[in-house]
Chain A
Amino acid sequence: MSKIIKYIIIDLLRNKIVIGYTIFLLILSASIFNLGADSSKGILSLLNIVLIFVPLVSIIFSTIYLYNSSEFIELMLTQPLKRKTILLSEFAGVSSALLLGVFIGVGIPVIVFDGSNAGWWLIIAALFLTIIFVALAFWASVATRDKSKGIGISILLWFYFALIYDGLVLFILFSFSDYPLEKPMLAMCALNPIDLARIAILLKLDVSALMGYTGAVFQQFFGSSEGVLFVVCALIIWAVLPCWRAFTLFNKKDM
């Protein structure tokens, strides 16, 4: 298994897209921090990149990579190896390459220029979102044989989490505006890893004071150690669930 992982990582580290992604993130974050004097403003600007761009690249790249290495996977399947091992190695390889990219591109500049509590949350969120969206990509590409359909599903998934879900939340808010929705909102943000990450980071920043009563309810919850545990558990579940789905599908899949 470690041999396959090693092979995939070496293959990916030479991949132009991964290198480009890393360098792009690095230049972007370094320039954001160099532009403004206030590092918490820098964190806010980086927030959008981490929440939109990182998931997008993670999901699309992983989907395409998995389809492109279908021949390699078929070759591996002819060997006396468990299907689970093969897919797990693929997952470990792809996600660790992208994690490395995100860590170098976002993590190091944040640690160097900011290093605050919010900064650490930003890094954790970026790493988690990478794993989660790689997992979703695996699920999408294992579920369909057709490459274009798989990529379509991936883009839709990203679109759903980045945009459509928030639209639905807004719709629900207006439909049930007569009811106290602070507590249900907590549950609703757990249903979207991007929202969960965004709120967890925002509450660590000064701007949380703008969030009024709802913000105070969120602060009370996410500020407590149970809240932190809840966020981390929810993010782990978000990573494990699509992975597990991908594995069961892959085990039954007729190659």
Chain B
Amino acid sequence: MRTFFIILFLIFADISFASVIHVGKNEAYNSIHAALQKANTGDTIFINEGIYAEGEIKITKSVKLIGKNFPVIDGRNKSQVISVYVNHVLIEGFKIINGGYSSVYDWAGIKLVQCDSCIIRNNILINNNFGIYLQASANCIIANNKISSNNPDELLSGNAIHCWKSSYITIKNNDVSGHRDGIYFEFVINSLIQNNYSHNNVRYGLHFMFSHNNSFIKNIFQKNPSGIAVMYSHGVTMLYNRFEQNWGSAAYGILMKDISDSRVQKNIFRNNTVAIHMEGSARMLVENNEFISNGWALEVQASCNDNIFKHNNFESNSFDVGTNGTMQLNTFTENYWDKYEGYDLNRDGIGDVPYRPVSMYSMVIEQSPPAVMLFRSFLVGILDKTEKVLPAVIPEGLKDDKPLMKKIPL
């Protein structure tokens, strides 16, 4: 009972001390700096419409900053715009523009340094070096922000949402474009990336390394020159994402390097140069995905093992699977391949002849890249056909023993 009263008292104490501060032309304070100086922990600061160019705004008290009608906070290309150093901060409804560039510090539109339980939502960030930057933070939510930049330079540009050494982060419903990487994770664990739209970035739509047990759900990655790169992580879950039009000589739907024990399910890959490129990856489950009109649907290097490719649809891809060795330790089963020419005598929906998704020509290119000169020539067509009948060059083990006759409805 005593503890209950203490808790009750603490709650009321918190509420009773928290006050509301207004910032604006005709309000008590006309600068955010002044308001922050007066504010106490737990206060709510409302900021009216207007342009606020006050240099870097450092938040060292747990306050709620709420913008009315998107007040503009201008970094005037000189400094970081907002930085947060405490827990329980809310930043909502701002238009944050022109964050500065520094070659020494990673300056951002909003930077969280060692923060816990902060919320950044409904903001518009334009032309900042880094957009939202999380450094050693936890339990933060970044939602409904629109982050864009127009810096075409890969070296001078920063990432839209950059997370470093953080955990339990939720990134939801953001629209990120024009930055170096759309979403960047390094040493981030147990986080969720959901419903984001990452498009037209300078390099990767999503880039993460050494980040374990994260989930990517229902995101759309479009027109990123290098696609998406996931590296050196395990326990990654990718569900219901769409990877589209990542087209170019160095573009991938997903580039997976040293990824293990992960799931890639129910995703759609359309018009990518390479839908999935896999290197040194193990124990992955690639299931119920759609691969449509890609250059290569899968590039599975010989360094991958124990991966399962099951119940996927492969349609109108130039090459279904490419590989660089004859050794194959992965399982392909019950996929639908539109190039399959076998038959089904007992009508159980499973083809009676195994399908070999690697074409002779893709092996030839792998061994001798200049052989692309013969791409789509008569000779290549004939070679592929002969190899289908009498396999000699293509990896013996890489085949789908149970190819499906009909497309899987997904």
Q: Which residues of A sit under 8 angstroms from B376, Cβ to Cβ?
A: 44, 47-48, 198, 202, 207
Residues B379 and A212 in contact, CB atoms below 8 Å apart? no
Q: Does B375 contact A (CB under 8 A)?
A: yes
Residues B372 and A173 in contact, CB atoms below 8 Å apart? no
Q: Does B247 contact A (CB under 8 A)?
A: yes
Distance between B2 CB and nearest chain A CB, rounded to angstroms? 71
Residue of A at shortest CB range from B382? Answer: A163
Residues B249 and A199 in contact, CB atoms below 8 Å apart? no
| Residues in A160-197 with C-beta less than 8 Å from chain B | 162-163, 166-167, 169-170, 173-174, 177, 181-182, 185, 188-189, 194-195
Quick check: which of B144-152, B204-212, B323-331, B362-370 contacts chain A, the rest being far away?
B362-370
| Given A207-B295, A210-B273: A173 and B378 interface contact (C-beta under 8 Å) | no
Q: How far is the CA of A253 from the CA of B381 in the complex (A)?
A: 41
Residue of A at shortest CB range from B364? Answer: A170
Residues A211 and B247 in contact, CB atoms below 8 Å apart? no
Q: Which residues of B sit under 8 angstroms from A188, Cβ to Cβ?
A: 373
Q: Does B46 contact A (CB under 8 A)?
A: no
Q: Does B251 contact A (CB under 8 A)?
A: yes
Q: Which residues of A sit under 8 angstroms from B372, Cβ to Cβ?
A: 210-212, 214-215
Q: How far is the CA of A97 from the CA of B381 in the complex (A)?
A: 31
| Given A209-B273, A215-B372: A177 and B379 interface contact (C-beta under 8 Å) | no
Q: Does A52 contact B (CB under 8 A)?
A: yes
Q: Which residues of A sit under 8 angstroms from B379, Cβ to Cβ?
A: 163, 166-167, 170
| Given A209-B249, A212-B249, A215-B249: A51 and B378 interface contact (C-beta under 8 Å) | yes
Q: Does A206 contact B (CB under 8 A)?
A: yes
Residues B295 and A210 in contact, CB atoms below 8 Å apart? yes
Q: How far is the CA of A199 from the CA of B378 in the complex (A)?
A: 13
Q: How far is the CA of A218 from the CA of B376 in the complex (A)?
A: 15
Q: Which residues of B sit under 8 angstroms from A207, Cβ to Cβ?
A: 295, 318, 375-376
Q: How far is the CA of A202 from the CA of B378 in the complex (A)?
A: 14
Distance between B83 CB and nearest chain A CB, rounded to angstroms? 41
| Given A206-B247, A209-B249, A215-B249: A166 and B378 interface contact (C-beta under 8 Å) | yes
Residue of A at shortest CB range from B373? Answer: A185
Q: Which residues of A sit under 8 angstroms from B373, Cβ to Cβ?
A: 169, 185, 188-189, 195, 199, 214, 218
Q: Does A92 contact B (CB under 8 A)?
A: no
Distance between B378 CB and nearest chain A CB, rounded to angstroms? 5
B interface residue count range (under 10 / 10 to 19 / 20 to 34 / 35 or more)? 20 to 34
Residues A195 and B369 in contact, CB atoms below 8 Å apart? no
Q: Does B296 contact A (CB under 8 A)?
A: yes
Q: Which residues of B sit under 8 angstroms from A213, Cβ to Cβ?
A: 249, 369
Residues A173 and B295 in contact, CB atoms below 8 Å apart? no
Q: How far is the CA of A188 from the CA of B248 in the complex (A)?
A: 26
Residues B370 and A182 in contact, CB atoms below 8 Å apart? yes
Q: Does B37 contact A (CB under 8 A)?
A: no
| Residues in B317-365 with C-beta less than 8 Å from chain A | 318-319, 364-365
Residues A210 and B377 in contact, CB atoms below 8 Å apart? no
Q: Does A216 contact B (CB under 8 A)?
A: yes
Q: Which of B367, B376, B381 has the most chain A CB atoms inside 10 A of its CB? A: B376
A interface with B by C-beta (< 8 Å): 41, 44, 47-48, 51-52, 162-163, 166-167, 169-170, 173-174, 177, 181-182, 185, 188-189, 194-195, 198-199, 202, 206-207, 209-216, 218
**Could you list 12 further interchain pairs (A-B, Cβ under 8 angstroms) beyond the known A166-B379, A166-B380, A173-B371?**
A52-B378, A162-B378, A166-B378, A174-B367, A177-B367, A177-B368, A202-B376, A210-B318, A213-B249, A214-B372, A215-B372, A216-B249
Instruction: Report the 7 A-B pairs with minimum CB-CB distance, sorted nearest first.
Output: A166-B379, A210-B295, A211-B372, A181-B370, A214-B370, A173-B368, A209-B273
B interface with A by C-beta (< 8 Å): 247-249, 251, 273, 295-296, 316, 318-319, 364-365, 367-382
Give 11 A-B contacts (CB < 8 Å), ordered by A residue: A48-B376, A163-B378, A163-B382, A185-B370, A189-B373, A209-B251, A211-B249, A211-B372, A212-B249, A214-B372, A215-B372
